[in-house]
Chains A and B, each alone.
Chain A
Amino acid sequence: MKFLNKIILSLLIFSSSYFYSQLRIEITGGTDEPIKVAMVPFEWTLEQAPPLYLHEIVKKDLESFAEFSVLSPEDMLSYPTLEEEVSYRDWRLLKVDYLIVGSVLKSETEGEVNISYSILDVSRQKNVHKAIMMGSLKSLNRIGHNISDRIYEKINGIPGIFSTRIAYVDKPAANKESYDLRITDINGEGDLSLFLSSQPILSPDWSPDGKQIAYVSFEEGTSRIYTQELSTGNRRALKHEKGINSSPSWSPDGKSLAAVLSKGGNPDLYLYDLKNNNWRQLTDHYGIDTEPDWSPNGKSLIFTSNRSGSPQIYELNVSSMRVKRKTFEGTYNARARYLPDGKKIIYVHRKKGVFHIALHNLKTGKISILTDTFLDESPSVSPNGNVIIYATKDKIADTDVLAGVTINGKTKFILPSASGGAREPAWSPILDKY
Chain B
Amino acid sequence: MQNLFAGFFISLLIHMGLVLSLSNILNIDLLDFQAEYSAPIPAYLVFEQPASISKKEYRRIVINEVTPESKAQVDINEMVLKPSQEILILKSKTARPTIVKEKKINLNEKNRILIFSSIIEEQIRAVWKKPIVPEGLSVELVLSLVPTGEILDVKIKRPSGNEAFDRSALIAVARVNKFENLSMSAKLFDDNFRNFTLIFKP
Contacts and interface: CB of A to CB of B under 8 A. Distances in A.
B164 A154 contact: yes
Contacts of A155: 131, 164
Contacts, number: 124
* Chain A residues touching B, majority SS: mixed
Contacts of B43: none
Given A30-B129, A124-B171, A157-B133, A25 B121 contact: yes
A34 B131 CA distance: 9
A409 to B, nearest CB: 13
B131 A24 contact: no
Interface residues of B, number: 56
Interface in B142-195: 142, 162-165, 167, 169-172, 174-175, 192-193, 195
B2 interface: yes
Contacts of A7: 13
A31 interface: yes
Contacts of B199: 24-27
A68 to B, nearest CB: 10
A229 interface: no
B134 interface: yes
Contact of A4 (B9, B142, B172, B198): B9
A85 interface: no
Contact of A21 (B6, B31, B174): B31
Nearest to B163: A157
A406 to B, nearest CB: 9
A30 B133 CA distance: 13
A25 B117 contact: yes
B174 A124 contact: yes
Given A27-B172, A30-B172, A31-B125, 19 more contacts: A1-B5, A4-B6, A8-B9, A22-B142, A23-B117, A24-B32, A26-B121, A26-B198, A27-B125, A27-B198, A67-B132, A97-B129, A124-B174, A153-B164, A157-B133, A157-B134, A157-B162, A157-B163, A158-B132
Interface of B: 2, 5-6, 9, 12-13, 16, 19-20, 23, 25, 28, 31-32, 34-37, 113, 117, 120-121, 124-135, 142, 162-165, 167, 169-172, 174-175, 192-193, 195-202
